[in-house]
A and B are shown apart, each in its own frame.
Chain A
Amino acid sequence: GQQLNQSPQSMFIQEGEDVSMNCTSSSIFNTWLWYKQEPGEGPVLLIALYKAGELTSNGRLTAQFGITRKDSFLNISASIPSDVGIYFCAGRDYSGAGSYQLTFGKGTKLSVI
């Protein structure tokens, strides 16, 4: 299957700091999704991106669909303790036979100290 490289794997930041994480792929995606997962729960969708160059915000979160369609980044401004969790990127591409495939990154674990 496709491979997504998500970085960093983990981050320790102080409350109030800005956070940045990204995902890169060797292939082109037509959709980028960012999810947050809290311990013992399922991932929850934060932001969905559908067009190259698209920049979308959701409160203190901002995500962008890279121009090359092979990358995306997520920024969190002024972090707070409840931002703790694992953030996953996911990219969707056409897998043939009229269907699309979703590939997940391995996640960025965010800890606020």
Chain B
Amino acid sequence: DGGITQSPKYLFRKEGQNVTLSCEQNLNHDAMYWYRQDPGQGLRLIYYSQIVNDFQKGDIAEGYSVSREKKESFPLTVTSAQKNPTAFYLCASGRDRVSGANVLTFGAGSRLTVL
């Protein structure tokens, strides 16, 4: 079955450490996204990529970095510069960003906790 796989499901980090969250999709989607979710909040866009080797900052990109070396993969690194990294992180993909009819498919999420 096609879908999006995020790993790890749970991750604990010490302050000052960088961590990388994995996101892999086999839906053959061009566009991929990273969202952050905090309790009682909507989804906030961190980064998105419309095509391999290209990505754009979203609304809250500070303290995060991404890469898009393969169509299937869009890893997110939470750096030590992110002052409040404890959150639930969601990866999504869509057919493309150009179509107004595009819908997103989400992964199951990764919960990051800073100790």
A contacts, CB < 8 Å to B: 1, 4, 6, 9, 30-31, 33, 35, 40-45, 48, 50, 88, 92, 94, 98-100, 102, 104-107
Q: A43-B106, A45-B103 are in contact. List 19 more A-B contacts (CB 8 A).
A: A30-B100, A35-B106, A40-B109, A42-B107, A43-B43, A43-B90, A44-B106, A88-B42, A92-B100, A98-B98, A99-B98, A100-B97, A100-B98, A100-B99, A100-B100, A102-B104, A104-B42, A107-B40, A107-B42
B59 at the interface (CB under 8 A from A): yes
A6, A50, A105: the one within 8 Å of B101 (CB): A50
A94 to B98, CA, bound (A): 9
B65 at the interface (CB under 8 A from A): no
Contacts of B109 in A (CB 8 A): 40-42
Contacts of B6 in A (CB 8 A): 42
